[in-house]
Structure 1
Amino acid sequence: MPSSMASSMSSSMSSSMSSSMTSNATRRVSHPPSPATNILLFLIAFRLLNAFVVRTFFQPDEFFQSLEPAWQIAFGHGEGKERGAWVTWEWDHRLRSSLHPLLFAAIYKVADLLASALSLPAAARADLLIAGPKTAQAVVSAIGDFYTWKLATRIYGTDSRGAWTALIVAVLNPWQFFCSTRTLSNCLETTVTIVALDLWPWKWSAGAVSDDDLSKSATERGRAEDQKLLWSLRQCLCLAAFACILRPTNILIWATLASVAWLRIFWLQRKVLVREVLLCGSTVLAVTAVADRLFYGVWTFPPLRFLYFNLAQSLAVFYGRNRWDYYATEGYPLLLTTALPFALVGLYRTLKIRAYSPADQVQTTIRVQLATVCLVMPFVLSLISHKEVRFIYPLLPSLHILAAPPLVQYFYPAVYSRSSRHTPQRLILIFIVLVNVVIALYTTLYHASGTLDVLTYLRNQHDRHATDGQDTPYSHLVGTIPDPGITAGFLMPCHSTPWRSHLVYPSINAWALSCEPPVDFDEEEKAVYRDEADQFYDDPSQFLRRNMVGGLHRIPRRPSYITGFQSLSTTSPNQHQWPDYLIFFAQLEPTLHNLLRASAYGECWRTYNTRWHDDWRRRGDVVVWCLDAREQEAWRSEKQRQEKESRDYQFDRIVEAIKEQARGPQKRSWQSFVPSLPWSSSSSSFASWQRSLKSLFSPPTSRTWPWSTRSRMDTFLARFRKPNPTVKKWIPSLPSWSSLPLPSWPTWPSVLGGESKKNKRMPTHDLWS
């Protein structure tokens, strides 16, 4: 008995000690973050970097359908669009929901309060107000990528190659890098849609739950799982309703999924579905109605008005008409780029499935229904004349998921096998990654970058002239009545640049050409209607004479920040004051040179915008003319300095090429053939580089050289004039540099390393003959 008691006591003590040690170890060793948490944090960091790398212009709706109304909500109306936000006609006619701008209005208020609390200077405060919406949208984009991976794990498994491939494709997709961090309603719609898809009750759509299971759940499994499913359904339906409020076309996705689910579920499930749709839909509609009532001042229903104006009145056609096959031939290729073949294969294989095992019934059903949605939505939208690739943007996460299995099947052996027979796949994979990176960087850093850079320039000029001619600085506080600042006019197609969300300062008085559509016009009036931008480009001379105060004969000689006079009032709404800064695209430069040659306007800044553009009115650099003679002179001096640096750089490259030629044939680097980067502003084309070289080597008209490279060249040639046994064999004597007859342009490629077929190396003395 005692022995048994002792053994039981010892066993209980050992078990208690082991349990206490285990609990202590558990308390001492903290649990590492879950893989899902690490993935989400990585995606947030990546999209934050993505958001602040983007410095190009894509669509006006990025600003005018979100940030401009948000600015008005946060800081008030101001004095119209000249000093306040530019609220477009869609908001005047209540076509948009205010929920999206309210999100950014809250961010503006938080940023403004933070800047006030930290007592930031005006320039830092402006940067903070610009960075706030970007930061919020980066987090929204990261959540969309995260739920793309979550839905992929639901289909392929948590640690499956398909789920990880879907995540990698989403990260490397050029369209995602270019568009996902922009403040477009389509970007928020895409994230909300993929989150709702992950919450959708796919077991119902797969027919994997019967009425018997629902009736037995209260007695056999309890209500926990049912409550979890019900809560998930409610979240899904609320998000789906919000997505449809943002973009009414999103209803195509949920109508397709709900129709399939209705056909596969039983009556008890149908009752639950109808009840939750009414409950969640009514809740979202009530919240939207209250928000719109506060924003517009009247009770309204924007989705219905949106459909009426764009379909019944066909106002969407005013902004462009596309072919019926646009989404198949342009939409999907732009969304997917290099992943397009694999997405098409994934769509085909998914829709080809005829039978599947009960084990993967739900996973296969998800894939089939996602593929169905990816075909139904573009088909229906193709019936509308006006088409844009961002209208089908919510389908991109589903396409990434469907493209994952073909990608794994094709590239997995090449990645994890060392066999040389997979070399072609490895090369293709490297090529795809490089192409995606190049496209993403080019579209986010270079293409159409000038229209954002010019607003940074205007803010800098405002800061520079804020105290010119004044005893105290201008007030930079948004929401207060500002002092007169600089004035700017944009002779560009409408909405070519952001507005107050990037001008920031209310004391910058600016105007731009408008393009209001023919609302409530009959068909005959619509046929002949020309908006303000069309009238300007039809006849710039006539427009400036009629629509500018004073016409072409009363143009100011000095800027308003020097004279101290600035008038906002005009005789008619279509008339504009001549501004301190006139901004336009380079294609308009010859026309304005001819019209304003006798005025005080002159070029004071220029920036690269794009090499090509589908709109002829937006081609070329962004050019700024100003009235300030000091700025014009400073800009001329800066351009001369850049040109001199370019000539010096090119001259040094030629000297290096001559040195290499003198040392004899050797293995050359490709950089020696490239004088400068092709997008350099100082050498924008091969023709300009050629002209620079010709002017560089042309015989000087004077003994005085305009740059300092003469001494370097004379020093170099002096080496050959000294006795040198190596050089003396093939160079008899070199003439002085001033009397040196240089070859014509066609012979210089041989100097740069080109070799003739007949003679592998040209004798050096022939170079100077």
Structure 2
Amino acid sequence: MENIRSRLKFGRKVEDVKLRKRKSQLYTKSNESALNDGVLGVRVVVFCVLFRLINCFLVQTSFVPDEYWQSLEVSHRMVFNYGYQTWEWKEGIRGFSYPLLFALIYKILYFINYDSVHLLILLPRIIQALLAAFADIKFFYLTQSLQSPDVAKWTFFCHLCSWFSWFCCTRTLTNSMEATLTCLALFYFPLPGSKTHSSIKYLTLVALAVIIRPTALIVWFPLLMYHFCQEEEKLRLITHNYIPIGAVAAVISTMIDCIFYEKLTLVQINFLKFNIFHSVADFYGSHPWHWYLTQGFPVVIGPHFPLFLHGCSLAFKQYKILLVSIIWTVVVYSLLPHKEFRFIYPVLPFCMVFCGVSLANLKTWRRVAAFILLASNLSAALYTGLVHQRGTLDVMSRIQTLCEASSSPSSSPSPPDVLFLMPCHSTPFYSHIHCPLKMRFLECPPYLGEEDYIDEADTFYDDPLLWLSKSFPYKSSLPTHLVLFDVLEAEISVFLSGNNFKKTAEIFHTHFPEGRVGGSVFIYERH
């Protein structure tokens, strides 16, 4: 009997030892897994930050005027009290929330006496790059929670490969901030299988995106409806999330705008009134309804397009709400006459989810496909970032050298006076020279019902010599410097030679001149 008891005790001890050993092994594995996840997280953070900073420094070209005129120019005027405001700010259809971000940076630089023109240009773009890196990190963790490690890896690869993201994400465009906030909000959105859902966080980010650019609501409308339909406590979602967050965002946005406009201004309502009901946006060009299908979307998604189509066929059921949002956004923007590539940029991260599924399922061919994807996107990114349309930025560094002459008039018979004979808003303005130099450009506000309305740019291009003779009847009124595209040179050569203007600089702009935009930018100086 005692033998049996001792054997039982011994058996229990052995079982206890084995159990403790298993627990120890599981604990060790758990610690190793947590440690590996931590190391991976640090690597991803460092990589994304470095990647987007390199991205920032390798984008040295211009894209659209709004990159400067609706952000940096406004911020510069807010802090330094000189600069130019476009008609949108006079009519109250733009919000100050986004320029305020850069105005705070400018104010800090001013207080510490480091407000050099180089920092004023570079720091806002670095801030935008760091925000884009933060969105990349969140996108990585989102793919990790939704997909298998293999699919997640290829999805993140596709996301970082995108040439259009490289081209846009570090620019000071409201569309860039809208895309960044959309990517961040997606991390907290209740997608099927998501483990990071937070209604308050994602709705706050969506509200910020709408404040910065009201059209963000187009992208998020189907997603908000999806969340509402999936939510069991619908009334609570509306009363505790949708209404309070929306109301707080609207109040804060209105307060900021009222402070800087110095009167009650409802920017979101004005934006809809001018762009939708009065069709003011059509003034800047209109396109056929199918433009996004035949040009816009294929260009924005670029070489990823075949992978996107393949991924849609594979992951339609799992990510149908993302596909619905993509289709909805393209359809709604297709109904509006004025179309631009950047308008559909915020849905690009949604597309990358399908591209990653496709690439992961190519099996033996995926490395070849990945190499082709990387090479083609890299070529497009480097060309558009370093070569195409850089002249209008480079010319401002030349103009900036005139600031010293402007600050000491005694060194010159007449202070510098620069006239830009180019399509309106072709170049940045005071934010890129940071001195109160006398400058003027051909203005082109849209027709808003004024009786004395004149589109100065169109009037000039109808008959350049006539416009110049009327604008400068006396030699004493002539500007000291002219900035123009090469395509205009022959047409005004009589004026240039007759008034003793000499070409002092020729700056490359693009290999694809079109219409009024030439391949090079010329600077003429009067002697």
TM-score norm. by structure 1 comes to 0.61
Q: Any idea what the Cα deviations from partners look like across 1:109-138, whole Å, max 9, x if unmatched?
A: 122334x1xxx6x8xx22111111111111
TM-score norm. by structure 2 comes to 0.88
Tell me how many residue pairs correspond in the alignment: 499
Residues 134, 302 of structure 1: alpha-carbon distance in 2 compared, 3 angstrom cutoff: same
Aligned counterparts, 1:276-287, within 5 A: 276-287=241-252
Specify which of 413, 425, 432 is matched with residue 495 of structure 1: 425
Rounded to whole Å, the distance in 2 between the matches of 1:65 and 1:347 is 36
Note if contact 1:166-1:403 (Cα within 8 Å) is conserved in structure 2. yes
Structure 1 position 251, deviation (Å): 1.1
Residue 203 of structure 2 aligns to which amino acid in structure 1? L
Q: Which has the higher helix share?
A: 2
Structure 1 position 313, deviation (Å): 1.1
Residue 200 of structure 1 aligns to which amino acid in structure 2? F
Percent identical: 30
Q: Any idea what the Cα deviations from partners look like across 1:319-359, whole Å, max 9, x if unmatched?
A: 000110111111211211110111122223333x3xxxxxx
Note if contact 1:148-1:166 (Cα within 8 Å) is conserved in structure 2. no
Rounded to whole Å, the distance in 1 between the matches of 2:373 and 2:188 is 33
Specify which of 376, 386, 393 is matched with residue 445 of structure 1: 386
1:132 is the counterpart of 2:32: no
Could you say which residue in structure 2 is the equivalent of 1:587?
487
Structure 1 position 609, deviation (Å): 0.7
1:513 is the counterpart of 2:439: no
Specify which of 217, 220, 242 is matched with residue 254 of structure 1: 220
Could you say which residue in structure 2 is the equivalent of 1:369?
321
Residues 340, 530 of structure 1: alpha-carbon distance in 2 compared, 3 angstrom cutoff: farther
Residue 398 of structure 1 aligns to which amino acid in structure 2? F
Could you say which residue in structure 1 is the equivalent of 2:132?
141
Please provide the CA RMSD for this pair: 2.8
Could you say which residue in structure 2 is the equivalent of 1:64?
69
Structure 1 position 368, deviation (Å): 1.4
Could you say which residue in structure 2 is the equivalent of 1:95?
93
SS in 2 for 1:322: coil
Residue 475 of structure 2 aligns to which amino acid in structure 1? I
1:378 is the counterpart of 2:367: no
Structure 1 position 93, deviation (Å): 0.8
Residue 589 of structure 1 aligns to which amino acid in structure 2? E
1:301 is the counterpart of 2:252: no
Rounded to whole Å, the distance in 2 between the matches of 1:103 and 1:544 is 40
Q: Any idea what the Cα deviations from partners look like across 1:411-441, whole Å, max 9, x if unmatched?
A: x42467xxxxxxxxx3x54343222222111
Q: Any idea what the Cα deviations from partners look like across 1:619-647, whole Å, max 9, x if unmatched?
A: 1210000024xxxxxxxxxxxxxxxxxxx
Note if contact 1:489-1:578 (Cα within 8 Å) is conserved in structure 2. no
SS in 2 for 1:202: coil
Could you say which residue in structure 1 is the equivalent of 2:499?
599
Could you say which residue in structure 2 is the equivalent of 1:715?
none
Structure 1 position 39, deviation (Å): 1.2
1:162 is the counterpart of 2:151: yes
Residue 218 of structure 2 aligns to which amino acid in structure 1? L
Rounded to whole Å, the distance in 2 between the matches of 1:134 and 1:469 is 37
Note if contact 1:462-1:485 (Cα within 8 Å) is conserved in structure 2. no
Q: Any idea what the Cα deviations from partners look like across 1:360-398, whole Å, max 9, x if unmatched?
A: xxxx2xx11111101111111111111111111110011
Could you say which residue in structure 2 is the equivalent of 1:344?
309
- Any stretches of 5+ residues in structure 2 without a counterpart? 1-19
Note if contact 1:144-1:190 (Cα within 8 Å) is conserved in structure 2. no
Q: Any idea what the Cα deviations from partners look like across 1:84-128, whole Å, max 9, x if unmatched?
A: 3221111111101111000010111122334x1xxx6x8xx2211
Structure 1 position 466, deviation (Å): 5.4
Could you say which residue in structure 2 is the equivalent of 1:555?
475
Specify which of 140, 144, 154 is matched with residue 153 of structure 1: 144
Specify which of 455, 467, 470 is matched with residue 531 of structure 1: 455
Specify which of 303, 327, 334 is matched with residue 299 of structure 2: 334
SS in 1 for 2:323: helix
Could you say which residue in structure 2 is the equivalent of 1:387?
339
More relative contact order in 1 or in 2 (CA 8 Å, sep 6+)? 2
Rounded to whole Å, the distance in 2 between the matches of 1:487 and 1:335 is 40
Rounded to whole Å, the distance in 1 between the matches of 2:238 and 2:43 is 35
SS in 2 for 1:289: helix
- Any stretches of 5+ residues in structure 1 without a counterpart? 1-14, 77-83, 209-224, 354-363, 417-425, 472-483, 557-576, 629-769
* Structure number with larger C-alpha Rg: 1
Aligned counterparts, 1:207-226, within 5 A: none
SS in 1 for 2:94: coil
Residue 383 of structure 1 aligns to which amino acid in structure 2? L
Note if contact 2:135-2:183 (Cα within 8 Å) is conserved in structure 1. yes
Residues 162, 85 of structure 1: alpha-carbon distance in 2 compared, 3 angstrom cutoff: farther
Residue 91 of structure 1 aligns to which amino acid in structure 2? W
Specify which of 227, 230, 238 is matched with residue 204 of structure 2: 238
Specify which of 508, 511, 518 is matched with residue 619 of structure 1: 518
Rounded to whole Å, the distance in 2 between the matches of 1:499 and 1:181 is 19
Could you say which residue in structure 2 is the equivalent of 1:635?
none
Residues 269, 314 of structure 1: alpha-carbon distance in 2 compared, 3 angstrom cutoff: closer
Note if contact 1:262-1:270 (Cα within 8 Å) is conserved in structure 2. no
Rounded to whole Å, the distance in 2 between the matches of 1:176 and 1:485 is 42
Residues 396, 585 of structure 1: alpha-carbon distance in 2 compared, 3 angstrom cutoff: same
Aligned counterparts, 1:670-681, within 5 A: none
SS in 1 for 2:401: helix
SS in 2 for 1:448: coil
Residue 605 of structure 1 aligns to which amino acid in structure 2? A
SS in 1 for 2:504: strand
Residues 399, 415 of structure 1: alpha-carbon distance in 2 compared, 3 angstrom cutoff: closer
- Runs of 4+ residues over 6 Å off in structure 1: none
1:75 is the counterpart of 2:76: no
Residue 387 of structure 2 aligns to which amino acid in structure 1? Y
Rounded to whole Å, the distance in 2 between the matches of 1:455 and 1:39 is 37
Rounded to whole Å, the distance in 1 between the matches of 2:224 and 2:376 is 39
Residue 136 of structure 2 aligns to which amino acid in structure 1? D
